Structure 1
Amino acid sequence: MSYLELANVSYTYPNGFEAVRDVSLKVELGESVAIIGQNGAGKTTTVKLMNGLLKPTQGEVLVEGRSAKGATTAEISRSVGYVFQNPDDQIFQETIYKEIAYGLVSQKLTKELIQQRVVEVAALCGLAESLKEHPYNLPYSKRKFVTIAAVIAMDPQVIILDEPTAGQDRQSTELLGQIIDQLAQKGKSVITITHDMEFVASQFKRVIVFANKAKRKDGSPEQIFWDEQLLKLANLKQPYICQLAKLLGKTGVMTIEELLERSFK
């Protein structure tokens, strides 16, 4: 049984705009999944359906085998956490410690357990030295890690990251990769929406492509990024390593190591 499932899900906004059409997919615990596609492809609407921020107009969302139809967003978020693209949409406490601890306080955990979890998550997200700081004293890129930490602290089984690499430098992107890896090792599922094809190619083993309001393909990075017809349909570019390999007449390459190995055979 999959932990999270969308079964023939569609969504039409109240103004009549159809955003997602007949999407079905399953996510297992421990998986790291990238969802890619151009703006308007249906990515964000789809993950908001997973989290209960939106309710499908057709089809069904199942969490741990149970329909989420009658559940509130707050109830679903205990299992499926969502980190917004803009951290300023989530931050409202006067210190980073309080921001990370806020959801834990609402769960009525002991002060000792709250402190332990805040310290652990802050260390994971590179915030250990900043817990007394006001979140808005940090740059935008660092504030993203505050919201990531706050959602991780709630201990959901599935964590959705919306454009986490936007505005990040190489060091921060590497930290994001480490966070995703550690969450997967703990049996958590991480679903990431991103336009960063380099990050997808290096970080994920499963990639889902959306185009024209529907899921178009679900496969490995090799299956996705060497499918030229699919990339054209979704208006996506190959990662740079694939573009270089193509110029050298090498196909199926996803890493510099693979390219070097094939080049010197």
Structure 2
Amino acid sequence: MLELQKINFAYKGKAPVIHDVSLTINSGEFIGIVGRNGSGKTTLTRLIMALLKPISGDILFQGNTIANPTPAKMAHHIGYVFQNPDRQIFHDTVAEEAAYGPKQLGYNPEQIKAFVTESLAVTGLSELTNAYPLSLSKGQKQRLTIASALAMQPKILILDEPTSGQDARERDDLLQLLRKLNGQGMTILLVTHDMELLSACAQRAIVMAKGHKAFDGTIAQLFEDTTQLASWGLIEPAALTISRQLADLGLKQTASIHELSQELVTRLGRNHYAHNSTHD
């Protein structure tokens, strides 16, 4: 669906921060982009969205080079959700906020109404249609920015650290939403430092290190080498650490806390049954 070919980028008057990055994003993928602060992961997504211009290299969408890409052109294909939702919200009601994007893309009123209704329903904000956006919780604001992006009917959704500043319940709600969208066919790029979130929803990881693409593979492959992981400034999920330590008990190694808890419950249930059977 989207291809980057040897992308290089430098801020004016400064050393390059993206070095010869090439990658292919396929339809329906859920990809996590990770790396330590300053590694280039957010810069990479801003280049994809044409918020920044590469000094060399090409960006192709569905096999075709996008001539003179601009954020407006890319908005027809990609929805972008910034880390701080307050920087994206500037209308007086939730409905008006969600309608802004499709209006700018030239959809007619009937289409806009349908797109807004659908996007608010998907993100669980239908009952807040007339609410003042800045009065919402951090999690609700983040879901509103996602709804605003979805209302533009994108093929790809990019989210930059979407769980920053959220409590556990808001984080879980967002995780369920992202899984649902991906299950419906949405291609998702998730910039995150949260390895628990990465392992819970992404199938593929791209590691950025000093502006280079240092790794591109499955989540399982990412966590195989803990020494290499540490060199990128990443820490394996607690669930994986625990499951490794309990491997002698026959537990499957997993980076998912949900899978680990299910495995432990199943194992304890078997042991309890075996213990009771022996005493009977």
TM-score, normalised to structure 1's length? 0.91
Calculate the aligned-residue CA RMSD, in Å: 2.1
- Residue deviations 1:120-146 (CA, integer Å, cap 9, x gap): 111211211111011111123321111
Whether contact under 8 Å (1:127, 1:146) holds in the other structure is yes
Partners of 2:101 and 2:123 in 1: how far apart?
A: 17
- Residue deviations 1:209-246 (CA, integer Å, cap 9, x gap): 11121111111211112221321220110101011123
**Residue 253 of structure 1: aligned partner:** 254
Q: What SS does the corresponding residue of 2:91 show, helix, strand or coil?
A: coil
After superposition, where does 1:141-220 map in structure 2 within 5 Å?
141-220=139-218
The more displaced of 108-117 and 235-244 is: 108-117
Counterpart check, 1:98 vs 2:99: no
Partners of 2:70 and 2:44 in 1: how far apart?
A: 17
The more displaced of 6-15 and 247-256 is: 247-256
**Structure number with larger C-alpha Rg:** 2
Q: 1:239 aligns with which of 237, 240, 243?
A: 237
- Once the two structures are TM-superposed, the CA of residue 68 in structure 1 deviates from its matched residue by 2.5
Which amino acid letter does the alignment assign opposite residue 52 of structure 1?
A: A
**Residue 81 of structure 2: aligned partner:** 83
**Residue 30 of structure 1: aligned partner:** 28
Identity %: 36
Partners of 2:26 and 2:228 in 1: how far apart?
A: 25
Partners of 2:8 and 2:253 in 1: how far apart?
A: 34
The more displaced of 170-179 and 210-219 is: 170-179
In 2 relative to 1, CA 133–34 (structure 1 residues): closer, same or farther, beyond 3 Å? Answer: same
Which amino acid letter does the alignment assign opposite residue 166 of structure 2?
A: Q
**Residue 21 of structure 1: aligned partner:** 19
Paired residues, number:
263
**Residue 61 of structure 1: aligned partner:** 59
Whether contact under 8 Å (2:94, 2:144) holds in the other structure is yes
**Residue 50 of structure 1: aligned partner:** 48
Runs (5+) with no aligned partner, structure 1: none
- Once the two structures are TM-superposed, the CA of residue 11 in structure 1 deviates from its matched residue by 0.7
Partners of 1:179 and 1:245 in 2: how far apart?
A: 27
Partners of 2:20 and 2:109 in 1: how far apart?
A: 45
Partners of 2:137 and 2:178 in 1: how far apart?
A: 22
**Residue 125 of structure 2: aligned partner:** 127
